Structure 1
Amino acid sequence: MTLLKADLLIFNARIVDVVRLRTYLGWVSVVGGALHYVEEGTPPAGMEASETTDLGGQFLVPGLIDAHMHIESSLLTPRRFQQAVLPHGTTTVLADPHELANVFGPAGVSYTLEASEHLALRVYVAVPSCVPATDFTLETSSGQITEEDVTALAAHPRVIALGEVMDYQGLASPGSRLPALIRAAQAQGLLIEGHTPTLNGAVLSDYAAYGVLSDHTLSTPAKLLEQLTKGFTVMLQEKSLNAEVVGALLKLPDRSRVLLVTDDVMPNRLLEGHLSLIVRSAVRHGLDVLEAIAMATLRPAAYLGLRHLGVIAPGRQADLLVVPDLTQFRPVQVLIAGKTVFPGPLGLPGSPAVPGGGELTRPLSRPEDFRLPVEDGARALAVISMNAVNTFTTLAYENHEVSGGTPNAPALTRVAVLQRAGTRLPSAGLLRGLGLRSGAFATTLAHDSHNLLVFGQDAGEMSRAANRLIRAGGGMVFLDGEEEHFLPLEIGGVVSDAPVAETAALFDRIESALRQRGVTHLNPLLFLSIFSLSVSPAYKITDLGLLDVERRRLIPLEAVSTRDVSTGALAAQEVR
């Protein structure tokens, strides 16, 4: 038998077999960017190759595939994101650009496709379904995606899904635009991505019956099992990895529909890892390392229909990682289509022109804009309470003394959302548990409509922070007297084309300043930027007011009745 000459021959490798969950000593050859021979033992004497690599017993692993994520959460453009994640072993992603789409509409999706066209990183794209995240009666969004947009964008070969259907409460509502978007996506053969933080029972079945195939939100053992039974592919991000969930997972006879994903990774964490972080976390919580690797390679490839990826096997693309230790999981070499992309210089492709229409155009604010719109005296005010771990919130009405629009409640943080365009006065809210003692924080990365979100204790400081971003055209800023920490986000007020190390350093300075002022949340900027997300349970604030997410309705800052206000027991039905 004459063996086909290889472009690259890799031998003395401990190959990770993600099908049989084993490793074996073997060798592989690469021809034209794809694997050809994948064999146990050592190469035969007659094997020829243009280039050879002796791994010395190191592990050879398929490239990691992230089946649910948002590049914009890193605050980076696709080319800068590539520079950040390839060294950590992520070689393929399904990116849902709903942040840019909420700012630019379908042009934001087209920008993402164009910006990722010439990357080594394989970027597949989901057309965002919830632009806006709910509807225009609950918030103001600059962008909108229609069923015609879905059909047009689906013609691109790297568009393979309809992004997460986040308005899980509104899907079945009369007049909802979502069923038409789902039908348009199904007609084009797209996957339908899900988002179900609170649904179960018959309501979950109603949701799944529309054709939704997955969920990536915070999981529990009971939720995991029910969703698998009802046909979902369950995606576990870091916050879902704990002993209980892993224990339930290990009892399953078939784990092929459980994946590891990142969803959102902030720029400072990208210095430590990407999907590799989730693999390491899964192992720390009791999952076998080969199982974890399969959940980040073969299984997402199967779910996404990417049959040319995810496994070290003949005919598959040679997306490979060289890893000295599987538990530590820190690649020392990354190859895509048989070419080394790490270590070594990685070219920086050009960046496309930024779409128009996403500018921050509202007029400068005044301190009086941030006063609570209630009469002076003892008032029953809505207070949203947070926890220090995740983004779930509760709400109760409490008695507080108000003077000149300022509550006499130093433990509470004032929150406001300003439309990115227009002259409407900011919405107002109160937050318990943040711990911010002084200063003000403002951001235009404010999921998902990306209006201008401001937190602070003093109306003057809040106005200064808001105006700093209005003048700059977007970003994040923390101000406290003469101290200022500013992170520019020049593209739509959402992302920057600066290198990840530079963006991460500015991000860290803002988080450090917040922590020095008393903020104790595990991920301060992630929590704060999601505080306006109209599909994040259970209470949030948009530019139109306080929002009861589960009931999909705006509620007043001041209660109608003070009954049971002192105990926080006033029900949502008892307010306007």
Structure 2
Amino acid sequence: MENHALKSWPDVAPKLVAVAAGRAPADTVLKGGAWVNVHTREVLENHDIAIAEGRFAYCGPDASHCIGPDTQVIDCAGQYMIPGLCDAHMHIESGMLTPAEFARAVAPHGTTSMFTDPHEIANVMGLEGVRLMHDEALLQPINIFTQMPSCAPSAPGLETTGFEITPDDVAEAMTWPGIIGLGEMMNFPGVVNADPKMLAEIAATQRAGKAVGGHYASPDLGPAFHAYAAGGPADDHEGTCEADAIARTRQGMRHMMRLGSAWYDVETQITAVTEKGLDPRNFILCTDDCHSGTLVNDGHMNRVVRHAIECGCDPLIALQMATINTATHFGLERELGSISPGRRADVILTSDLGTLPIHRVIARGVTVAIEGEMKVDCPHLDWPAHARDTVHMGRALSGADFEIAAPAGANHVTANVIGVVENQAPTKALKAELKVQDGLVPGDPEQDVCQIALVERHQATGGVVNAFVSGFGYTGQMAMASTVAHDSHHMIVVGTSHADMALAANRLQEVGGGVTIWKDGKELALVELPIAGLMSDAPATEVAAKADKMVQAMEACGCTLNNAYMQHSLLALVVIPELRISDLGLVDVRTFELTPLFDEGQDQ
């Protein structure tokens, strides 16, 4: 499948030259706008842009010589012409949407290029799932490039996934037309320790001349960090503070700063540019994870650029971080990321560079959205039936499956508890003194400790691993279950009631995956995600409406965290410190080892 409605530069170069010279008419001319040039960081008033064959042909003070009788002329007086925005690192599945519906949701916000890592579906469906995402991406009217997932499982030996990705899989994917590089190398201990499999994947990518995505989720900037940098990752997005940003760029990495639905890592890192004065061309903006509610209600990359500006970044520098910097990083500077001759004609018309209202979006020379309304179709792939049948628990669960037995003879225990951190991916490894009741250890609402369970859903083993989590603030009798559980995507159930936890888990098996919330034996909200238990092919507005009800239901159960759903979905992410849950038990990500639920030597 070729990029839809787009010819390569060699195929159209004669036409572009002819248009620029005035020997042939342009398809479209943007007349009299302020050209935002991200190569020179200038705003050039009263300029014209001529487009032909989906690419820019002429960018200069007067394109009158490019206008023929059939040329569409768009009056841009009073508007800025800026390059289409690029999301340098993101996961489509986090939007709960298929690539087609994600494209339909973000194009009106000015996103015309995305660099996506479908490692969520890779954990559920393996290489086939990646290929399905890749193929639907190539059908879209905007540019969706796919990174081949690198780590499934993300931490070998600490979790079991539906499928494993091998170096041979990576080498095969590098031959696909839409593959732009290797997805984030989450197994950073593997790279640090020169694991042959991880280095083989990186080598296959570099032999193909493509970028290796990074993921160094540790605050340790000592020898381990330097070993990771030596291992080949070309970028990283896991930094959370200014020191992280400085360290990565000094090592030759492009540093990606993310603003997702729950990740607010721009403000704490952009000071490396705004205050320390580091070269901004080595900094990139991205979202990483945005759910459908954020996309529909708040925006996408336009939201990130606005936020960077609010944090003190010069608007033109912020735009560079979301356009040309990204294109350069992926080796596409001659293809996109700027309004320049030969590049894909991806351009946004906006009336204000600070607040960035998106009036018109042109992708590959075609107007795809005007004032927030999509004007073209986003074609769907025909997903196979087995992609909608991926929740295999093996049996129906009961409340007894969620009981946690106390050590023999104990009347209280010291439990290791996963501590949720608002607006950040890392968790805390907490301790809690919990009482024993009738031989069982329940949670303690007064300490904000409730239960968490991981339900195996790939191999129908019937397995349930139980532990404790703090930070959600849940009260009363409730449960929340989700088959979105980065990265293994088993089922995560959090609750205060064993009976409700069983009801929630069984409900997701019934509907083929998604998110459900129960209170006092009744379902308050359900978001069906039938494709791989991760995505819906319904329109984003419909999914967002159900997601809004989900948020309201969480609040009705006592949760006041910002974007608590995203925190819920990351509780099994065994590559980000400090404490996580997997199908093999409780994982201490500081040491990459399994750790017991209870400390030894409990008082009897």
TM-score, length-scaled by structure 2: 0.89
Q: Secondary structure at the match of 1:546?
A: strand
Name the counterpart of 1:574.
Answer: none
8 Å contact from structure 2 (residues 264, 423) kept in 1 = no
2:3 is matched with which residue?
Answer: none
Q: Does residue 1:57 correspond to 2:84, yes or no?
A: no
Deviation digits for residues 292-322 of structure 1, max 9, x if unmatched?
1111111101001112101111111111111
AA aligned to 1:249 is: V
1:101-143 CA-partner distances (Å, limit 9, x unpaired): 00000011101111122110111110100111111x2111001
> 1:397/1:2 Cα in 2 relative to 1: closer, same or farther (>3 Å)?
closer
Q: SS of the residue aligned with 1:322? A: strand
Deviation at 1:331, TM superposition (A): 1.2
Residue 243 of structure 1 deviates from its aligned partner by: 5.0
> Residues 365, 36 of structure 1: CA spacing in aligned structure 2 closer, same or farther, 3 A cutoff?
same
Report the 3-state secondary structure (helix = DSSP H, G, I; strand = E; otherwise coil) of the residue aligned with 1:125. strand
Alpha-carbon deviation of 1:171?
Answer: 2.5
Tell me, yes or no, if the aligned pair for 2:412 and 2:602 is still in contact at 8 Å: no
The aligned amino acid for 1:111 is: L
**Alpha carbons of structure 1 residues 90 and 46: separation in structure 2 relative to 1, 3 Å:** closer
Q: CA deviation at 1:224?
A: 1.1
Q: Distance in 2 between matches of 1:535 and 1:263?
A: 15
1:308 and 1:532, CA in 2 relative to 1: closer, same or farther beyond 3 A?
A: same
Matches within 5 A, 1:302-381: 302-306=328-332, 307-343=334-370, 344-354=374-384, 356=386, 359-362=390-393, 363-375=395-407, 377-381=411-415
Shift in Å, 1:264: 0.5
Partner of 1:53, secondary structure, is: strand
| Structure 2 counterpart of 1:505 | 545
Residue 3 of structure 1 and its aligned partner are, at CA, apart by 4.6
Distance 2:227 2:266 in 1: 29
Equivalent in the alignment of 1:77: 98
Counterpart pick for 1:451 among 487, 490, 513: 490
Q: State whether structure 2 residue 114 is matched by structure 1 residue 87.
A: no
Structure 2 residues not aligned, in runs of 5+: 1-20
SS in 2 for 1:501: helix
Q: Which residue of 2 aligns with 1:521?
A: 561
Q: Out of 351-360 and 177-186, give the one that drifted further.
A: 351-360
Return the alpha-carbon distance in structure 2 between the equivalents of residues 524 and 288 of structure 1. 31
Q: Which runs of 5+ in 1 are unaligned?
A: 566-576
What amino acid is the match of 1:351?
A: L
Deviation string 1:396-441 (CA, Å, 9 cap, x unpaired) is 4433212242426223110000110333431111112210113100
The 3-state SS of whatever aligns with 2:355 is coil
Partners of 2:267 and 2:203 in 1: how far apart?
A: 39
TM-score normalised to structure 1 length: 0.94
Quote the residue 1:571 is aligned against: none
The question of 1:280 aligning with 2:300 is answered no
Q: Is the 8 A contact 1:170 1:552 kept in 2?
A: no
Matched, 1:544 2:587: no
Q: How far off is 1:201 after superposition? A: 2.3
**Residue matched to 1:572:** none
Matches within 5 A, 1:100-249: 100-135=121-156, 137-173=157-193, 177-198=197-218, 199-238=220-259, 239=263, 241=265, 244-249=268-273
Q: CA RMSD in A?
A: 1.9
Map 1:324-473; keep pairs closer than 5 Å: 324-343=351-370, 344-354=374-384, 356=386, 359-362=390-393, 363-375=395-407, 377-404=411-438, 405-407=440-442, 409-410=444-445, 411-420=448-457, 421-438=459-476, 439-473=478-512
- Describe the SS at the equivalent of 1:403: coil
Partner residue, 1:23: 43
* CA distance in 2: counterparts of 1:165 and 1:127, whole angstroms: 10
Distance 1:125 1:317 in 2: 18
Name the SS of the counterpart of 1:554 in structure 2.
strand
Contact 2:96/2:292 (<8 A) preserved: yes
d(CA) in 1 for partners of 2:50 and 2:121? 41
The 8 Å contact of residues 372 and 406 in structure 1, kept in 2 or not, is answered as yes
Q: 1:449 to 1:280 in 2, by over 3 A?
A: same
Distance in 1, matches of 2:423 and 2:87, equals 24
Counterparts in 2 of 1:179 and 1:3: CA distance versus 1, 3 Å: same
Q: CA offsets, 1:452-505, max 9 Å, x none?
A: 110000111111111111111111000112342111000010111011011011
Say which SS state the counterpart of residue 169 (structure 1) adopts: helix
Q: Does 1:10 align with 2:40?
A: no
Compared CA separation, residues 84 and 243, structure 1 to 2 (3 A): closer
Distance 2:429 2:227 in 1: 28
Q: Secondary structure of the equivalent of 1:441?
A: strand
Q: State yes or no: 1:36 paired with 2:63.
A: no
Amino acid at match of 2:33: A
After superposition, the Cα gap between the structure-2 partners of 1:275 and 1:172, relative to the gap in structure 1 and judged at 3 Å, is same
Could you tell me how far apart the structure 2 residues matched to 1:7 and 1:386 are? 53
- Once the two structures are superposed, residues 142-201 of structure 1 have per-residue CA deviations (whole angstroms, 9 ceiling, x without a partner) of 011111111111111210111000111232447562122112222222211101121412
Query: What is the identity, as a one-letter code, of the residue corresponding to 1:246?
Result: I
- The answer to whether the Cα contact below 8 Å between 1:220 and 1:240 also exists between their aligned partners in 2 is no
Q: How many angstroms apart in 2 are the aligned matches of 1:554 and 1:325? A: 52
CA contact (8 A) 1:63 1:91 kept: yes
Q: Deviations over 1:45-91 (max 9, x none)?
A: 78435211111221111111111111111010011011100000000
CA contact (8 A) 1:384 1:432 kept: yes
Q: Residues of 2 paired with 1:60 and 1:425: CA distance?
A: 55
1:67 equivalent in structure 2: 88
Contact 1:104 1:355 in 2 (8 A): no
Distance 2:392 2:224 in 1: 41
Identity %: 31
Instruction: Identify which range, 174-183 or 324-333, moves more after superposition.
Output: 174-183
Residue of structure 2 aligned with 1:486, choices 505, 509, 526:
526
Query: Matched residues in 2 for 1:468 and 1:408: separation?
Result: 23
Identify the residue that residue 16 of structure 2 maps to in structure 1.
Answer: none
Q: CA deviation at 1:562?
A: 4.7
The 1:368/1:30 distance shift into structure 2, 3 A limit, reads same
1:526, CA displacement in angstroms? 0.3
